[in-house]
Amino acid sequence: MRNHLIVAALMAAVVTPVAAQAQSYGVVVDDDAPAIAVEQRPAFREYVVRERVPNYVIPDRVVVGGVLPDTGVTYYDMPPSFGAARYRYTVVNGETVLVEPRTRRIIQVVE
C-alpha cells in the first residue's frame, strides 16, 4: 500500500506541471525578460515617434513570442534610459515591439 502511495505521489509531481503547461494558450514567454516598465511606456512611444521609425508590414500577427522575418525589417538599439539595452526595437504593423536580436523573437509589444 505504501509503495502505491509513493508511486501516486511521484506521478502527481510529474503530471501536474505538464498538465498546467498544456493548458496555457499561446506562446510561453520568459517572465524574467527585461521589458519596458509600464511607467516608461509613454516616454518610449514618444521617443519612437520622434525618431520617425518606419513601419514594416508583415502578413503575420504581431504577438509576444512571434519571430520577425530575417530580412526586410530594421532593428534599432534601445536607448540606455529604458533599461533594456540587450534588446532592439522596431515598428511592425503599427505596433512598437522589443525584439531579441539574435532570434528576432518579440519579447514585448509596447502599448
CATH code of residue 47:
3.10.450
Q: pLDDT of 57-85, one tens digit each?
A: 999 899 999 999 988 899 999 998 888 88
Going by C-alpha positions, the residue among 58, 61, 65 that lies closest to residue 103 is 65
Domain presence at residue 47: yes
CA atoms of 78 and 84, how far apart (whole Å): 6
25-39, 41-55, 95-109: which range is least confident on average? 25-39
pTM above the 0.75 mark? no
Confidence (pLDDT) at 17 = 43
Mean local confidence (pLDDT), 47-53: 95
Full domain range(s) for residue 63: 30-110
Domain presence at residue 19: no
